[in-house]
Amino acid sequence: MPRPGAIKVHLPYHLTPRSDAAKYIYVTRNPKDTCVSYYHHMKNIPSHGFNGTFDQFFELFLSGNIDYGDYFDHLLGWYEH
């Protein structure tokens, strides 16, 4: 990719491609907002197969039992760097 370039990822830190020449910007959201948005994302895409209530999703979100793993582990993985 010609410089300057940008790549947007939703990956955790340990899965993000590395380059010594790159600069990384990690953008985060309020966890409450993230949970509500993620719930609607899961409900609106049938291939995810989630048909539960928000309360059910909230429990899954807090326990980390959602697609892509625990949200808070994701945050901490980036914050450590």
- Give pLDDT tens digits for 51-71: 999 999 999 999 999 988 899
Distance of CA 38 to the CA centre of its chain: 9
Please name the helix (run of DSSP H) or strand (run of DSSP E) that holds residue 43, with its range, or none. helix 31-44
Give me the active site residues, please: 10
Residue 7 has pLDDT above 90, yes or no: no
Please name the amino acid found at residue 27: V
pTM: 0.78
- Calculate the alpha carbon distances from 11 to 8, 29, 55, 61, 70 in Å: 9, 15, 26, 17, 12
